[in-house]
A and B are shown apart, each in its own frame.
Chain A
Amino acid sequence: MSALHLKKGSTSHSAYNLRPTFSDVAERHTIAVLVENEPGVLARVIGLFSGRGYNIESLTVAEVDHTGHLSRITIVTTGTPQVIEQIKAQLGRIVSVRDVHDLTVEGRAVERELAMLKVVGAGDKRVEALRLADIFRANVVDSTLNSFVFEITGAPEKIDAFADLMRPLGLAEIARTGVAALLRGD
């Protein structure tokens, strides 16, 4: 865990936020879950969300510590503060979950998502797409005479904005990874 530069999380000790202010307003939270990379562990996490009726806006997962067999799952979810607290507590009681961090609460987090967008078109639209891609610092990773595949990295909002701009210019297909996130600072 130390290799990941995560502070000891609130959830591994007493301080689940057990005295939350119970507002009815839904909030968006980014939660990082460190799990043992064993078969079915993703199914446990996803099954928890579907079984208890929680939302998943995005979910990314990959092994981050090969020797320790640990994977990091980043989940973006929405819910009232009470629901968010329940999600964290329920995640924490899964036996293969080692640690749960609410990045939205624990500090400012950098959130990044990668997307690939295929834009099909010719003439002015094609030129305009390329110009906007440059403004958004998107890379061209594939090109034909009448199509581009752009690769863009950024906060989800930036990717939303870019996709909105590409739509009238011939956006044919989009693939997004979902959010990966880390706390800022040390």
Chain B
Amino acid sequence: MLNEKTHVANGAKQMTREMTGAKMVVQALKDQGVDTVFGYPGGAVLPIYDEIFLQNDIRHILVRHEQGAVHAAEGYARSTGKPGVVLVTSGPGATNAVTGLTDALLDSIPIVVLTGQVPTFMIGSDAFQEADTVGITRPCTKHNWLVKDTDRLAATIHEGFHVATSGRPGPVLIDIPKDVQFATGTYTGPKAITSHYQPRLKGDMEEITELVAAIEKAKRPVFYTGGGVINSGPGASQLLRELVDATGFPITSTLMGLGAYPASGKHWLGMLGMHGLYEANMAMHDCDLMINIGARFDDRITGRIDAFSPKSKKAHIDIDPSSINKVIRVDIPIVGDVGHVLEDILKIWKSRGRKTNAEAVAKWNAQIDEWRKVKCLTYKPSEKTIKPQYALERLEALTKGRDRYICTEVGQHQMWAAQFLGFEDPNRWMTSGGLGTMGYGFPASIGVQMAHPEALVINVAGEASWLMNMQEMGTAIQYRLPVKQFILNNERLGMVRQWQELLHGERYSQSWSEALPDFVKLAEAFGAKGILCKDPADLDDAIMEMLEYDGPVIFDCLVEKHENCFPMIPSGKAHNEMLLGDAETQGVIQAGGAVLV
């Protein structure tokens, strides 16, 4: 138990009321400003559902599977910057939430999951729908609690919101036994809570000054930004733009960080990493100053570690000290919140006279322009079949400038979406980066649409990923959420197929989608609109039809079946050893690289 004294300090007078645990849950959510909860009822949460029935402030969205609830909450959180909230029952309700929790942990998404539990006196007896929820979810949450005392319930929920949203955000879980929900206790308001968990936000000024000095001298600098910029809030993206535009340094981003700097920006290199752009990866390899802002040197980014950007001085800004020096040794480590640190960098850099080595940087930008000329995203167009890249180019052209949010599933389509769609603002791009969860995008799009009822929400999907959580079609219909499911259907597990081609002698083991449903009929069966498109000549009209329909749409876009996703850094290779097209792919991955994923 946490220290009572510090926890309830001076809160005795403020907002203390006697109420049942179930009522406390709803009251605590209201006091945290929660307007939407994604959930699924069951025996161990019935008292809470009863309280939800009796009020109108919080909207409950009934999903069709608990995994969908967590992904929807992630979509809600990522598109709003507010924590997403989930309510599920004990046992299978909780275990079904595990994939979503792990997904949110790896992508640092703030969500609060409330689970019912069997009554305290039955815990440990293998009761019906009993699972050791805190035990199971300990490694896949930022923190979790089992509340055994109704008097502690409200304080624990408030602490949960604080932990989920402070420092490096992440998922938390609060397990609430049924007798704790029924019992009466004293409610504690959010202001009465003082938590010991207070991650520091300001970076060390000496390190920041050293980084500024490096910025002033750098000849071949590059900004390498990640999801930390998004998580730090819109202000951080604004500061990043100011810094990039003032210095004139090129900027690339991870999959997680797209939108922090606008894709239309002058200094934008595109995404980096395994399927990143040639110019971005070459700039990373050849730079002399790498400024990592809120990214974590993930293996999708670094490629072969001993050949990773060998000539550069590396600075790393991260709110989580464990991210620093975990994979790549850095020269200038700065622990702090991206927004705070960027503010200090700008302040110091300006006060020292806004210096850069402009001449060298201009030369460097000229070199980068040479790399851009490679036009690494070029693909072979076709008049007969729809190329997936073409489909995304048209989707981009026809939706550009709209109030648009994009979700994706996981696989080739996800990488193509990252390559071919342009993100101008943060919080507009929801994709499962760290865990790579197929089935993420559809429920995420539901969460996004809930938060932004008037916006255009598109889930770029592959047919195999999409089928993994297709039951959420019912949710979309029930709440009249006009989410557009843009399925690039190649009847294959495209990325698996691509790896089997490159690595496993073109033996396509289990990587095709047999017995697919008729997606148009499927849509109609749910009461949605289905659109089938297989001819490139019809594509624009079909996309417009999708956009104009006021309701959920399943867009079955039949695309080229054997298209590979390029550029690609093969496993075990360095950034400057990218593959740009099919001709180069034979025998490129050696035994050492083959064991990597």
A-side interface residues toward B, CB under 8 Å?
Answer: 11, 13-14, 16, 18-20, 22, 36-40, 43-44, 47, 51, 68-69, 82, 85-86, 89-90, 92-96, 98
Contact with A along B127-139 (1 / 0, CB 8 A): 0000000110011
Q: 7 tightest CB-CB pairs across the interface, nearest first?
A: A89-B322, A18-B333, A95-B143, A89-B321, A14-B204, A16-B321, A90-B322
Chain B residue at minimum C-beta to C-beta distance from A98: B196
Give Cα A86 to B325, complex, Å: 8
Give Cα A69 to B204, complex, Å: 32
Query: How far apart are B8's CB and chain A's nearest CB, in angstroms?
Result: 14
Whether, in the assembled complex, B418 has its beta carbon less than 8 Å from a beta carbon of chain A, the answer is no
Q: Which residues of A contact B134 (CB under 8 A)?
A: 40
Given A13-B200, A18-B335, A98-B196, decide whether A93 and B322 contact each other with a Cβ distance below 8 A: yes
Query: How far apart are B88's CB and chain A's nearest CB, in angstroms?
Result: 20
Query: How far apart are A92's CB and chain B's nearest CB, in angstroms?
Result: 6
Give Cα A145 to B325, complex, Å: 59
User: Given A18-B333, A44-B138, A95-B143, 13 more contacts at CB 8 Å?
Assistant: A16-B324, A18-B335, A22-B329, A36-B3, A37-B1, A40-B146, A43-B138, A69-B3, A82-B329, A85-B325, A89-B321, A93-B320, A98-B196
Contact present for A19 and B146 (CB under 8 Å) = no
Q: List 25 A-B contacts (CB under 8 A).
A: A13-B200, A16-B321, A18-B324, A18-B325, A19-B331, A19-B333, A36-B3, A37-B1, A38-B1, A40-B146, A47-B138, A82-B329, A85-B325, A86-B322, A89-B320, A89-B321, A89-B322, A89-B324, A89-B326, A92-B322, A93-B167, A95-B142, A95-B143, A96-B143, A98-B196
Give the secondary structure class of A's interface: loop
Chain A residue at minimum C-beta to C-beta distance from B320: A93
Q: Which residues of B contact A37 (CB under 8 A)?
A: 1
Complex partner residue of B163 from A36, A38, A39, A95, CB under 8 angstroms? A95
Whether, in the assembled complex, B197 has its beta carbon less than 8 Å from a beta carbon of chain A, the answer is yes
Give the one of A82, A89, A98 with max B CB within 10 A.
A89
Q: Which residues of A contact B167 (CB under 8 A)?
A: 93
Contact with A along B1-42 (1 / 0, CB 8 A): 111000000000000000000000000000000000000000
Chain A residue at minimum C-beta to C-beta distance from B6: A68
Give Cα A44 to B140, complex, Å: 11
Q: Which residues of A contact B329 (CB under 8 A)?
A: 22, 82
Q: Which residues of B contact A13 (CB under 8 A)?
A: 200
Give the one of B163, B197, B322 with max A CB within 10 A.
B322
Q: Which residues of B contact A85 (CB under 8 A)?
A: 325
Chain A residue at minimum C-beta to C-beta distance from B331: A19
Q: Which residues of B contact A11 (CB under 8 A)?
A: 321
Q: Which residues of B contact A98 (CB under 8 A)?
A: 196
Give Cα A78 to B239, complex, Å: 42
Query: How far apart are A85's CB and chain B's nearest CB, in angstroms?
Result: 6
Query: How far apart are A10's CB and chain B's nearest CB, in angstroms?
Result: 10
Q: Which residues of A contact B139 (CB under 8 A)?
A: 47, 51
Give Cα A37 to B196, complex, Å: 13
Contact present for B146 and A92 (CB under 8 Å) = no
B-side interface residues toward A, CB under 8 Å?
Answer: 1-3, 134-135, 138-139, 142-143, 146, 163, 167-168, 196-197, 200, 204, 320-322, 324-326, 329-331, 333, 335
Contact present for A93 and B2 (CB under 8 Å) = no
Give Cα A98 to B198, complex, Å: 10
Given A13-B200, A18-B333, A22-B329, decide whether A40 and B138 contact each other with a Cβ distance below 8 A: yes
Query: How far apart are B379's CB and chain A's nearest CB, in angstroms?
Result: 40
Given A18-B333, A44-B138, A95-B197, decide whether A38 and B322 contact each other with a Cβ distance below 8 A: no
Given A47-B139, A68-B3, decide whether A39 and B325 contact each other with a Cβ distance below 8 A: no
Q: Which residues of B contact A95 (CB under 8 A)?
A: 142-143, 163, 197
Give Cα A38 to B3, complex, Å: 10
Query: How far apart are A97's CB and chain B's nearest CB, in angstroms?
Result: 10
Give the one of B135, B146, B324 with max A CB within 10 A.
B324
Contact present for B138 and A18 (CB under 8 Å) = no
Chain A residue at minimum C-beta to C-beta distance from B146: A39
Query: How far apart are B437's CB and chain A's nearest CB, in angstroms?
Result: 19
Complex partner residue of A69 from B2, B135, B326, B330, CB under 8 angstroms? B2
Q: Which residues of B contact A44 (CB under 8 A)?
A: 138
Query: How far apart are B282's CB and chain A's nearest CB, in angstroms?
Result: 27
Q: Which residues of B contact A22 (CB under 8 A)?
A: 329
Give Cα A90 to B326, complex, Å: 10
Q: Which residues of A contact B322 (CB under 8 A)?
A: 86, 89-90, 92-93
Contact present for B204 and A82 (CB under 8 Å) = no
Chain B residue at minimum C-beta to C-beta distance from A36: B2
Chain A residue at minimum C-beta to C-beta distance from B203: A14
Q: Which residues of A contact B3 (CB under 8 A)?
A: 36, 68-69
Chain A residue at minimum C-beta to C-beta distance from B197: A95
Q: Which residues of A contact B142 (CB under 8 A)?
A: 95
Q: Which residues of B contact A90 (CB under 8 A)?
A: 322
Give Cα A70 to B186, complex, Å: 25
Q: Which residues of B contact A89 (CB under 8 A)?
A: 320-322, 324, 326
Give Cα A13 to B333, complex, Å: 13
Query: How far apart are B223's CB and chain A's nearest CB, in angstroms?
Result: 20
Q: Which residues of A contact B196 (CB under 8 A)?
A: 36, 98
Query: How far apart are B170's CB and chain A's nearest CB, in angstroms?
Result: 10
Give Cα A44 to B143, complex, Å: 9
Give Cα A86 to B143, complex, Å: 19
Query: How far apart are B201's CB and chain A's nearest CB, in angstroms?
Result: 12
Chain A residue at minimum C-beta to C-beta distance from B205: A14
Chain B residue at minimum C-beta to C-beta distance from A87: B322
Q: Which residues of A contact B146 (CB under 8 A)?
A: 39-40
Given A22-B329, A36-B196, A86-B326, decide whether A14 and B335 contact each other with a Cβ distance below 8 A: yes
Query: How far apart are B332's CB and chain A's nearest CB, in angstroms?
Result: 9
Given A14-B335, A43-B138, decide whether A82 and B325 contact each other with a Cβ distance below 8 A: yes
Query: How far apart are A22's CB and chain B's nearest CB, in angstroms?
Result: 6
Query: How far apart are B394's CB and chain A's nearest CB, in angstroms?
Result: 44
Query: How far apart are B49's CB and chain A's nearest CB, in angstroms?
Result: 27
Give Cα A94 to B143, complex, Å: 8
Give the one of A19, A22, A90, A93 with max B CB within 10 A.
A93
Chain B residue at minimum C-beta to C-beta distance from A15: B204
Contact present for A69 and B1 (CB under 8 Å) = yes
Contact present for B135 and A43 (CB under 8 Å) = yes
Contact present for A16 and B335 (CB under 8 Å) = yes
Give Cα A82 to B305, complex, Å: 15
Q: Which residues of A contact B204 (CB under 8 A)?
A: 14
Give Cα A98 to B352, complex, Å: 38
Chain A residue at minimum C-beta to C-beta distance from B204: A14
Chain B residue at minimum C-beta to C-beta distance from A90: B322
Give Cα A78 to B292, complex, Å: 30
